[in-house]
Amino acid sequence: MNYKKLDKLTVLDYILDVNSVMSYFGEDELQADEIGDGNLNYVYKISSIQDSQKALILKQAVPYLRCVGEDFALSRERMSYEIRALQKFYSIFPSFVPKVHHANEAMSLVVMEYLDSYTIMRKGLIERTEYKKFSEQISTFMAATLFYTSSLHLSSSEKRALVDRFNSNVELCKLSEDFVFSFAFMEHETNNKERVEDSKEAKKLFLDMELKEKILELKYKFMTQSDALLHGDLHTGSIMINETRACIIDPEFAFVGPFGFDIGVLLANFVSSYVYHSVVSRDDEYKEWLLLGIKEFLAKFQTKFLDFWSESKNSALLIEGYLDSITLEAYKRKFVKDILRDSVGFAGCEAARRVYGVAGVEEIRGIKDNLLREKAEEMVLKIAREFLMRYKTIQNCDEILEILRDAR
């Protein structure tokens, strides 16, 4: 099938030929509505006219960045990686990603579960919602997807086959390389002009060579360390959530990269939320909930990762009997601690790049009051700097929380 951009009308014609979708709707008549913020893709809600509870999402990529226009080319193959990642994550732990009803790489489209009663987590955190099950959920998702797509579980050939499926996600990896690790730390046209201009703090950051050397180390790791399949952009805007379920969406940045990256990105976005509530809502109780959430997420991640590992005796890396059990346990504990350390480093990059880079986060850049926003920015940068300067020697989760508590 040749690629064709669908619209509100042709999307229904397309759907009529897809058995897996039609069997979901049965005999109902269908309607299509365009929804979504439409930064990158076209998103349609396909729903039954007879039963509005029956609905699916159809998401199609176009070969440009939609919010900028057709002149800003961005290969629509990104949808292939999103589809592959959704399917892979689903095969490992189905409940944490939207169910895919139909996928078509040639058409760069996917039809999936409509997450009706869900909130984008970033908004929920701004509104001080306490998601009591989140640390349990996200730690399971991360431990499972990272472990089961790594050389600690897969065979050597399975791992190479996985790399093969994602290695060519060139454009989106390059976006991360540039925007997470480079441009936001130097004078660059893509940076947020308003935030950078006349900012002493921005100048200070751009001249902080000690810090930037650490960021460069982590950039190198991001580019060359093929640990496991990553979501690639796991901030709180990529999580749809309600009281019972957290659902990870938009994995178009997926690739096989370093263990610590997704964890670090999520940690950084919790930092942004913590800073927002330190500066804006000043809700100490909610701040404590956030800190507890971070601690539980990281601690449970480590425990679960080790639990999964204890069930995999043979893998690309390990052959049963190679190490005695005491040495093996020590090796594993060190391995997981190294993941935690790298996560803290990556969190530093992600938190800091949101301050002056092109893509700010609502919690910081969205603060209306100039003084408060500057205060929030300083606080984020302070935490990010501590993370980056100390990540290689972090011993445990409490140290991470201390860095947050100590920041003013």
Report if residue 299 touches a copy of itself, rule: CB under 8 A.
Answer: no
3-state secondary structure (DSSP) of residue 267: helix
Per CB under 8 A, the list member of 22, 100, 306, 317 interacting with a copy of itself is 317
Which run of H or E residues covers position 44?
Answer: strand 41-48
Minimum separation from the CB atom of position 313 to a copy of itself (A): 14
How many residues are recorded in the chain? 408
Among positions 322-361, residues that touch a copy of itself (CB under 8 A) are 322-324, 326-327, 330-331
User: Could you tell me if residue 264 is left (phi over 0), alpha (psi between -120 and 50 degrees) or otherwise beta?
Assistant: alpha
Q: CA 5, CA 67: separation in Å to the nearest integer?
A: 16
Report if residue 314 touches a copy of itself, rule: CB under 8 A.
Answer: no
Report if residue 72 touches a copy of itself, rule: CB under 8 A.
Answer: no
Minimum separation from the CB atom of position 317 to a copy of itself (A): 6
Q: Is 127 exposed, middle or buried (0-12, 13-18, 19+ CB in 10 A)?
A: exposed
Minimum separation from the CB atom of position 72 to a copy of itself (A): 17
Q: CA 141, CA 248: separation in Å to the nearest integer?
A: 9
Among positions 198-227, residues that touch a copy of itself (CB under 8 A) are 209-210, 212-213, 216, 219-220, 223-227
Which among 180-188, 190-198, 363-371, 381-389 is the span making contact with a copy of itself, rule CB under 8 A?
Answer: 180-188
- Name which of 151 and 272 has its Cβ closer to a copy of itself: 151
Type of residue found at 258: P
Q: CA 194, CA 119: separation in Å to the nearest integer?
A: 30
Minimum separation from the CB atom of position 331 to a copy of itself (A): 5
Is the four-CA dihedral 230, 236, 240, 244 of positive or negative sign? positive
Q: CA 342, CA 392: separation in Å to the nearest integer?
A: 7
Provide the 8-state DSSP code for 238: G
Report if residue 316 touches a copy of itself, rule: CB under 8 A.
Answer: yes
Which among 21-29, 86-94, 130-138, 311-319 is the span making contact with a copy of itself, rule CB under 8 A?
Answer: 311-319
Angle made by CA atoms 211, 214, 218, in degrees to the nearest 5: 140
- What's the number of CA atoms in the CB half-sphere (13 Å) around residue 368? 1
- Name which of 292 and 330 has its Cβ closer to a copy of itself: 330
Report if residue 380 touches a copy of itself, rule: CB under 8 A.
Answer: no
Name residue 32's beta-bridge partners.
Answer: 46
Q: CA 11, CA 42: separation in Å to the nearest integer?
A: 11
φ/ψ of 256, rounded to 5, equals -90, 110
Minimum separation from the CB atom of position 292 to a copy of itself (A): 33
3-state secondary structure (DSSP) of residue 385: helix
- Name which of 1 and 209 has its Cβ closer to a copy of itself: 209
Q: Is 87 exposed, middle or buried (0-12, 13-18, 19+ CB in 10 A)?
A: middle
User: What tokens does 325 get?
Assistant: 């059990």
Can you tell me which residue has the tokens 């100390």?
Answer: 390
Minimum separation from the CB atom of position 379 to a copy of itself (A): 25
- Name which of 329 and 406 has its Cβ closer to a copy of itself: 329
Minimum separation from the CB atom of position 224 to a copy of itself (A): 5
Give the count of residues interacting with a copy of itself (CB under 8 A): 43
Q: CA 336, CA 301: separation in Å to the nearest integer?
A: 9
Among positions 139-178, residues that touch a copy of itself (CB under 8 A) are 151, 156-157, 159-161, 163-164, 167-168, 170-171, 173-174, 177
- Name which of 202 and 246 has its Cβ closer to a copy of itself: 202
Among positions 225-254, residues that touch a copy of itself (CB under 8 A) are 225-227
Report if residue 76 touches a copy of itself, rule: CB under 8 A.
Answer: no
Per CB under 8 A, the list member of 24, 185, 297, 346 interacting with a copy of itself is 185
Angle made by CA atoms 121, 124, 130, in degrees to the nearest 5: 100
Per CB under 8 A, the list member of 16, 68, 186, 292 interacting with a copy of itself is 186
Minimum separation from the CB atom of position 179 to a copy of itself (A): 12
Residues near a copy of itself, by CB under 8 A: 151, 156-157, 159-161, 163-164, 167-168, 170-171, 173-174, 177, 182, 185-187, 209-210, 212-213, 216, 219-220, 223-227, 316-319, 321-324, 326-327, 330-331
